[in-house]
Amino acid sequence: MTHTTPISPAPHSDPTSKASPQSPSTPELVAVAPRLWALVPCAGNGSRSGAAGPKQYTVLGQQALVLHTLEALAAVDRLAGIQVVVSAGDPFFDTAPQPQGAPVFVANCGGATRASSVFNGLSALLAQGAQPLDWVLVHDAARCLITPADVNRLIDACKDDPVGGLLALKLPDTLKQEQGGRVAATLDRSDKWLAQTPQMFRIGALQAAYVAAGDAVTDEASALELVGQSPRLVDGSAQNFKVTYPQDFALAAAVLAARAGHPL
């Protein structure tokens, strides 16, 4: 996969806009439509997963977990490119295959937290030719069950939104508050959602929000919330869970096998 090749700043005129006739000596005015990019933070250690190395490289079925993630994103034909962020010195993508579809770019600029990996990845994306008004869909490498249909649903819901938004799941279970290992209260869950990824925002707005929010936020929406924005909630899928704990590998492998039509 490419490490340094710049994405050519493709001409991206808005096919819906009508340019007024220009005289030959007048520079042509072209309305520019924002492009869509994916950014995949892939620099975590997976300390809760119990895996021997970073969980994103655990093999599920035929290939590493993160390659399932990238395969699904690359199949979204509205994406101009996918920026992956790995830790300095991580050799995985030196030999990894390029998925079919949107080009994948790799930057070794992972940070100590997810927030810093994403923030550094935004700079890498801009250096590749992305523009501050372009959209970025930040997606965890560890959510390998994302589907192109999920991503397209998010894009459709957010492309005309002034802020952007995220996939999320309405809480399916009764919600308890704990104190000392016992139930202290049952909470109202009617307005509670579980945040997933991708999370889709304008690159420049997200960068500015991270500067203001700092390193402690755990998702992009939180950074936007801290600067006074209300990201849109878009229905996600229970299958789009984040591989986090040891038992999650078998569940993800089973879903992938079922989708591929293999017996479980």
Ligand X SMILES: C[C@](O)(CO)[C@H](O)COP(=O)(O)O
Ligand Y SMILES: Nc1ccn([C@@H]2O[C@H](COP(=O)(O)OP(=O)(O)OP(=O)(O)O)[C@@H](O)[C@H]2O)c(=O)n1
Q: Which stretch binds ligand X (CB under 6 A): 20-28, 63-71, 173-181, 194-202?
A: 194-202
State both tokens at 94.
Answer: 């030196």
- The phi, psi pair for 10, rounded to 5°, reads -60, 145
242 binds ligand X (CB under 6 A): yes
| CB of 109 vs ligand Y, minimal distance in Å | 10
197 binds ligand X (CB under 6 A): yes
Residue (85 or 234) nearer to ligand Y, CB: 85
| CB of 245 vs ligand Y, minimal distance in Å | 8
150 binds ligand X (CB under 6 A): no
33 binds ligand X (CB under 6 A): no
Angle at 246 between CA 241 and CA 249, to 5 degrees: 55
Distances (CA, A) of 115 to 22, 95, 177, 254: 46, 27, 27, 30
Within 10 A of 188 (CB to CB), how many other CB atoms are there?
A: 8
Within 10 A of 17 (CB to CB), how many other CB atoms are there?
A: 11
114 binds ligand X (CB under 6 A): yes
Within 10 A of 262 (CB to CB), how many other CB atoms are there?
A: 10
Distance between CA 169 and CA 149 in Å, rounded? 16
Residue (46 or 99) nearer to ligand X, CB: 46
State both tokens at 57.
Answer: 């490289």
Among 45, 47, 186, 218, binds ligand X (CB under 6 A): 218
| Chain contacts with ligand Y (rule: CB under 6 A) | 41-49, 56, 85, 110-114, 117, 140-142, 242, 244
| CB of 128 vs ligand Y, minimal distance in Å | 18
Distance between CA 231 and CA 244 in Å, rounded? 25
| CB of 118 vs ligand Y, minimal distance in Å | 7
47 binds ligand X (CB under 6 A): no
